[in-house]
Amino acid sequence: MAQRSPEEIRASIELNRIELGHSVARLRGELAELTDWRGHFARHRTKVLVGAAVAGFVLGGGLAAVGGLMRRRR
């Protein structure tokens, strides 16, 4: 293994520090984009509303069915 001078080591450390800073900044930007639920909702509004309607219909139907079963048992 080749020996490096202290100046080369310091330069390498500084370069790594700069690259790490850029990586952290990029990661923060990606994280902010991924956790932006308002943006996701705005981009997929139709899908969200259709999904909510279907879920409400299924949940309402399920509750009505359970209510009907309970009334029959009495």
- 15-52 confidence digits (pLDDT tens): 999 999 999 999 999 999 999 999 999 999 999 999 99
Higher pLDDT, 26 or 68: 26
- What does the alpha-carbon distance between residue 47 and residue 23 come to, in Å, rounded to a whole number? 34
How many alpha carbons lie under 13 Å from residue 35 in its C-beta half-sphere? 6
Of 46 and 71, the one with more pLDDT = 46
Q: The whole model's pTM is what?
A: 0.52
Instruction: State yes or no: pLDDT of 56 exceeds 80.
Output: yes
CA–CA separation, 44 vs 53, rounded Å?
Answer: 14
